[in-house]
């Protein structure tokens, strides 16, 4: 296997043993970026020389931590002191902060090598930038963590940081055929990330398998129990999986319907797992609308400076989003927040007889065209409920593009969610 295709966990093992040098790994990733970036366009900034210098310093010094020598992509919504942070907008072209975001500082302290900034959509909303799906450049990679997902899927880096306010981790991971982990709300510190929503924004991780996504999340959260362990150690009994189509099921395309059916059949045949069909409480039917109102209203407030001072420099799509956010009345906002709280209070009931849920990640495979990033409709409710989720690849559409499913856990059950996602990914053939 080419060095740039090593899993993060395997590379970390070899780096710790000094059988692999950080410089060798970083150089291999830079060569991959050089070869593929003209087609994929995943990066807004590549810090090649700085990455090599950092790798050489790590090779000379003591082992630094969980991420020692591992190349990392950072979404261009997240502050970095030594390279531009443009938020995907021409308003901030060349902008550079004086500090690292908390997650970047912690990643560096754990030994990561920041390779550069990955492309985000405009202010992490719905206006695409240049990134293309690495499996088919005529299709979207999803958004808003577009570049992070594409870079990981294409073997440019083993790990990347992203964020989610609606579906910005889960959807691009599903479209690009990789893993995304969105921890419980607040699981990874958000300081230094351009905010869109105080009550929804979540920092998460992208990788090619669950143990790698968990490795990065564990390093950033300080929670060693997030490192993937066998289910027998985490649970000590069979995993109870709730098959959850959600109220949004009418939006599922045939490839997503088929993926969930295949997964259900496989779970039923897998030792150590039991399948339970699950219907969400009736109140959950209005969750998408409530989440949308909260997101629109909070985005319009967080982007008040850009909206008030640079409205003409926003894309027409984002101008429309800002106007829609300002049209949400305080009464509608308060009602939506109350509805979200009401639904969160019912989560104990949802997980009473199951450990995790298995649900769609997106309506289907990545849509054709680069004009939009797809629909986050299957992600909104879980972001609103603050639950941990992990997208896992679950097959392919007839056109060969990946299809994903998401494993959803109860709030605070991140370690179990990761262990279950790994077991389910393996059960489904790690497709």
User: Could you give the angle at the alpha carbon of 259 between the alpha carbons of 283 and 340, nearest 5°?
Assistant: 20
CA distance 364 to 361: 8
Which listed residue (44, 89, 102, 144) is catalytic?
144
Phi/psi of residue 148, nearest 5 degrees? -60, -45
- Marked catalytic residue, from 75, 117, 182, 194: 75
Among this protein's residues, is 184 annotated catalytic? no
Backbone angles phi, psi at 418, to 5 degrees: -65, -45
Question: One of 89, 102, 148, 168 is an active-site residue; which one?
Answer: 168
> Is 75 one of the catalytic residues?
yes
CA of 284: how far to CAs of 134, 338, 383, in Å?
35, 13, 13
Closest CA to 380 of 288, 286, 279, 247: 288
418: left (phi over 0), alpha (psi -120 to 50) or beta: alpha
β partners of residue 358: 243, 407
Residue 90 is classified by DSSP as G
Q: Is 277 a catalytic residue?
A: no
b (16+ CB within 10 A) / e for 86-109? bbbbebbeeeebeebbbbbbbbbe
296: left (phi over 0), alpha (psi -120 to 50) or beta: alpha
Beta-bridge mates of residue 118: 43, 75
- Positions marked catalytic: 75, 144, 168
């Amino acid at each position: 296997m080419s060095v740039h295709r090593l899993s993060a966990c395997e590379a970390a093992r070899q780096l710790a043993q000094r059988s692999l040098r950080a410089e060798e790994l970083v150089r291999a990733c830079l060569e991959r970026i050089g070869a593929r970036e003209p087609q994929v366009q995943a990066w807004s900034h590549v810090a090649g020389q700085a990455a090599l210098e950092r790798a050489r310093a790590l090779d000379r010094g003591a082992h630094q931590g969980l991420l020692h020598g591992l190349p990392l992509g950072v979404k261009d919504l997240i502050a970095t002191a030594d390279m531009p942070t443009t938020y995907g907008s021409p308003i901030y072209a060349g902008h550079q902060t004086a500090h690292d975001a908390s997650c970047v500082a912690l990643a560096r302290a754990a030994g990561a090598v920041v390779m550069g900034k990955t492309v985000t959509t405009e202010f992490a909303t719905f206006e695409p930038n240049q990134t293309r799906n690495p499996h088919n450049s005529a299709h979207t990679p999803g958004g808003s963590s577009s570049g992070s997902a594409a870079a990981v899927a294409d073997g440019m880096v083993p790990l990347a940081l992203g964020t989610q306010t609606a579906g910005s981790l889960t959807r691009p991971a599903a479209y690009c055929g990789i893993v995304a982990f969105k921890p419980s709300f607040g699981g990874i510190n958000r300081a230094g990330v351009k905010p869109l929503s105080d009550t929804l924004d979540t920092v998460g991780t992208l990788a090619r398998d669950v143990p790698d996504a968990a490795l990065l999340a564990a390093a950033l959260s300080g929670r060693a129990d997030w490192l993937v362990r066998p289910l027998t150690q985490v649970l000590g009994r069979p995993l109870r999986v709730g098959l959850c189509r959600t109220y949004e099921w009418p939006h599922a395309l045939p490839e997503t319907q088929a993926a969930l059916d295949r997964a259900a059949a496989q779970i039923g045949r897998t030792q150590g797992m039991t399948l339970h069909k699950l219907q969400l409480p009736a109140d959950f039917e209005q969750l998408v609308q409530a989440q949308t109102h909260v997101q629109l209203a909070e985005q319009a407030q967080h982007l008040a400076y850009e909206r008030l001072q640079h409205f003409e420099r926003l894309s027409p799509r984002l101008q429309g989003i800002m106007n829609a956010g300002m049209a949400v009345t305080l009464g509608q906002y308060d009602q939506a927040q109350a509805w979200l709280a009401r639904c969160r209070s019912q989560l104990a009931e949802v997980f009473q007889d199951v450990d995790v849920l298995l649900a769609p990640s997106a309506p289907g495979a990545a849509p054709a065209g680069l004009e939009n990033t797809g629909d986050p409709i299957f992600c909104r409710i879980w972001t609103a409920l603050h639950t941990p989720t992990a997208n896992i690849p679950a097959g392919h559409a007839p056109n060969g593009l990946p299809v994903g499913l998401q494993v959803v856990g109860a709030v605070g059950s991140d370690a179990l969610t990761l262990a279950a996602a790994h077991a389910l990914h393996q059960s489904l053939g790690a497709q």
